[in-house]
Chains A and B, each alone.
Chain A
Amino acid sequence: MKYESKLLRIFAPVALLLVMCPAVRAQTLRLPPHEKLVLKNGLTVLLVEKRGVPLIDVFALVKTGAAADPGGKAGLASVTASLLRKGTKTRTAQQFAADLDYIGGSFEADADADYSYVSAEFMTKDLARGLEIFSDAVLHPTFPQNEADKILAQSVDGVKSSKDDPRSVLGLYYQGYLYGANSYGRPAGGDELSLKRIQRDDIVKFYEANYASGNTILGIAGEFDPAEMRKQIEEVLGTWPADSVTSAPIPATPPEKGKRLLLIDKPDATQTYFAIGNIGTAVNDPDRFAIRVVNTIFGGRFTSELNEALRVESGYTYGAGSFFDSHKSPGPFEIYSFTKNETTIPAIDLALQVLEKLHKNGVTPEELASAKSYIKGQYPPTIETSRQLVRRIVFNEFYGLGDDEVNQLEARIDAVTPEIAKQAIEKHFPLDNLVFVLIGKSSAIGPSVKKYADKIDQRPISDPGFWPPAAGAQK
């Protein structure tokens, strides 16, 4: 869940300053008012007025994502989204680009594990034009064969390029090693082999099966007149045929038992990039607020225990931390850092010690107070723009969280006691069962990392795919 990284604030000490500055009001964090409509064709529409700059943000979430890619064809949802703009019933890819660019608009479409999305941003003065261009891509794509060939070939090279940057692929190897061939294990963008198996026909079928009015949540935020906006939406999206789709639920993967380690060999690497963890939690986990508070203390900010130990005190790395990448079903929990080849073992040892210490000592009342203050103080800028707001509101709807996810956040964060934090640590932060993924120079670190697990796997980074290796993938 990439849209969540930081949270809220307390205003108690503001009282004194209010005397000095009448312009300021103590306020509790709340989402701005918004409106929910369901069109006759089943399309859910969420509208938020947000004044400040004359921009409009549109975000459509299609409730089927990369986790639904057929086996062996990872990347299908992503490629389908990428092709929406590459030819419609009335525009070639070039015409689409020219029309969009002329108004300075932006357009983005891709797939995450749980959903596909199409987003656009344009100026208020171009509302009619912008909405028409956006809906043209969503409703009338034609998926020309030559454009599909182009995107698929580019995507293969894109995967190769990302392997030149260990940062950008560490998570993909990690999720593959953690989930195996299960839905959340596959790379959303596909890999060098899966992309070559995707045919135009697969793309058309994926689109027809999933891009349906009843399977989509549309959010719009920005400077607009609500009545005018409702009328425009009805005009351009009311024509989308009524169609509902039931996405198959994603089965939960049970946490890993024992310890396994995957070493990806990058012979020219001068530092090792590592990820350690296990299956984490779902977006709607009832313990999510306690988890957020504990993870802030453990690995979610600059003064977190992990960063203090691995960066501030030892100088092993430029950064260390941890996060829960929550999905509809439990997503990965990951501790990560990177360090030069020579300090790989001490750095990983230290990360594990910090984890042990969390279990042994729990969190102090001071740490708890600091983390709560941090989460609350840092939250308002995460819903500052129409671009952020529209995503927040659509995700709240999609994941069934409701407005209270924001409006009650301060209270829910404040309700986390040392005892609740302790329970969250025991339940959600793995200790003895861990999966390790390392990208680094195998000849330098290979022998010494074997101590971390009973089962060791290895692959060169240049081998196509991530994990598991497909049959015939080895060179």
Chain B
Amino acid sequence: MRAIWYRCTVLVFLCALGGAAAPVWAQSQAFPVSTRTLKNGMKVLVQPDHSIPNIALYIFYRIGSRNERPGTTGLSHFFEHMMFNGAKKYGPGELDKAMEANGGSNNAYTTRDVTVYQDWFPRSALNLIYDIESDRIRDLTFDPKKIASEREVVASERRLSVDNDNFGLLDEQLWATAFIAHPYQWPVVGWMSDIEDWTMADLKHHFEMGYSPSNATMVVVGDVSPEEIFELCEKYIEPIPSHAPPPPVTTVEPEQLGERRLVVHKPAELPVLMIGYHTPRTDNPDFYALNILRSVLFQGESSRMYQRLVDKDQIALDVSSEVEPAFDPTLAIITAQPRQGIDPSVCEKAIYEEIEKVKDARISDEELEKAKNYRLIEFYREMRTISGRANTIGTYEVFMGDYHKLFDAAKSYSAVTKEDVQRMAQKYFGANNRTVATLLPESEGKAHP
């Protein structure tokens, strides 16, 4: 649907970290990143690019649903909505009105780990954007009427992306089963009963916990100079006092000791199959080899899984995998949609057989080269827009700990060997480490041919 202003996608898939290899371009061409850490601890990264007269400004806060507790799940995401609903200078609704009247637009997304605010605007709106951002970071207000109506908006978002979306629904169940101790177990959007129950005190506490300037990284890409951005930051952002960051998440998910399975029965035309494997946090050295493995298995119509499930056996409509950037050990998720009349177990078996083949024998030179080419072109695709670059630079800085790793990714990918890829399959894609989720269509007296 052309709902270009839908704000706040919860289950945003960040492919930003999937990218990179040989950024000859990134090293040699004229897009250097300038950085400064403000006195209040906020780090600012600036990359000038004058190819269009626009600017992308992203602020990454290191707070997400992993910082929540049972009873208030989804609060980070709800809070993200409330960041648009009024502060001291720009009252309820005024932020969006001012921004759009000056040619700008905005959005935000929340994940298990971060909350990211995005502004896209013409150069002429630069001062206004800083005025708005500093106003809401410093002096956010909570209007009980807005809390009530925004709660309904988030409930509608949940109905849209989870309750009435088979993939969203099964994904939620999968995480809730794969994790038994760590906060990754609950959904970013929150359980419906928690959505109905958040209080103003919860919101205030969340603001105090997560929104210290020192807990944020700002990335600005576009028609700017680093000097003017640093000046604006000094004027608008630096005076905002910092305070303690959120308490560390100390819970460690215990090792999974055997396969877990779950089934969802629901009226549906087609089944859905999802398999989640525990994989390490994003800054783990295995990151690159795991991505190459996933490329070999899932990327393109010549990939092993597509060839087997979609093309040869014709048992699935589609098969793919994803890993989101994460501060803590996370999941690599395989999703397949079985064809009508095909039992999901048939797809499951084929997927395991293909995984076993990678464990038993090394991939070919051609497959390795292909995977590296895929990662390289993906990198270029992300770097071709000011918004893509703002997101990628920020994601590397926040999840890898240093944006320079973006420029080293080339080396890191080209260092991956066939043996590494085989080792990844052996290390992570075992039966004891997986959770298998299946959505089975309820018949409702409906005859499926």
Contact = CB atoms under 8 A, between A and B. Distances in A.
Whether chains A and B associate is: yes
Interface of A: 2, 5-6, 9-14, 17, 20-21, 23-27, 52-55, 93-94, 97-98, 100-106, 121-123, 150, 153-154, 157-158, 160-161, 163-167, 170-171, 266-271, 301-304, 307-308, 311-319, 321, 323, 336, 338-340, 366, 369-370, 373-374, 376-378, 380-381, 384-387, 462, 475
Contact of B369 (A94, A102, A374): A102
A160 B103 contact: no
A153 B270 CA distance: 14
B5 A301 contact: yes
Contacts of A103: 373
Contacts of A164: 166, 268-270
Contact of B156 (A166, A316, A376): A316
A17 B6 CA distance: 32
B256 interface: no
Contact of A171 (B1, B52, B165, B446): B1
A368 to B, nearest CB: 11
A302 B124 contact: no
Contacts of A27: 53
Contacts of A157: 270, 317, 339-340
Given A53-B25, A164-B269, A154 B373 contact: no
Interface in B3-29: 3-7, 25
Contacts of A313: 149
A241 B265 CA distance: 55
7 contacts: A21-B224, A123-B380, A154-B310, A160-B269, A268-B267, A271-B164, A315-B156
B110 to A, nearest CB: 14
Contacts of B387: 381
A82 to B, nearest CB: 11
B312 to A, nearest CB: 9
B187 to A, nearest CB: 16
Nearest to B310: A154
The CB with the most chain B CB atoms within 10 A, among A17, A161, A339, A369, is that of A161
B56 to A, nearest CB: 8
A140 B383 CA distance: 34
B159 interface: yes
A2 B307 CA distance: 31
Interface in B38-57: 48, 50-54
B302 A101 contact: yes
A49 B126 CA distance: 30
A315 B153 contact: yes
B270 A11 contact: no
A460 to B, nearest CB: 9
A385 B268 CA distance: 39
A334 B376 CA distance: 40
Given A10-B103, A165-B165, A319-B6, A102 B373 contact: yes
A373 B102 contact: yes
Q: Which of A27, A318, A319, A378 has the most CB of B within 10 A?
A: A318
Interface in B418-449: 444, 446-447
B301 A97 contact: yes
Given A101-B301, A164-B268, A150 B314 contact: yes
B29 to A, nearest CB: 8
B105 A55 contact: no
Interface stretch (B93-101, B136-144, B207-215): B93-101
Interface string B367-396: 001100111111011011111000000000
A365 B245 CA distance: 46
Interface string B124-167: 11100000000000000000000011111111110110011110
A161 B337 contact: yes
A104 B103 contact: no
Contact of A303 (B54, B100, B157, B228): B100
Interface in B334-388: 337, 339-340, 366, 369-370, 373-378, 380-381, 383-387
B117 interface: no
Contact of A377 (B121, B164, B311, B373): B121
Instruction: Name the residue among A55, A103, A164, A373 with the largest chain B CB count within 10 angstroms.
Output: A164
Q: Which 10 A-B pairs have the closest CB atoms?
A: A377-B103, A315-B152, A315-B149, A104-B373, A101-B300, A370-B101, A104-B377, A302-B5, A97-B301, A160-B269
B281 to A, nearest CB: 27
B266 interface: yes
Nearest to B229: A21
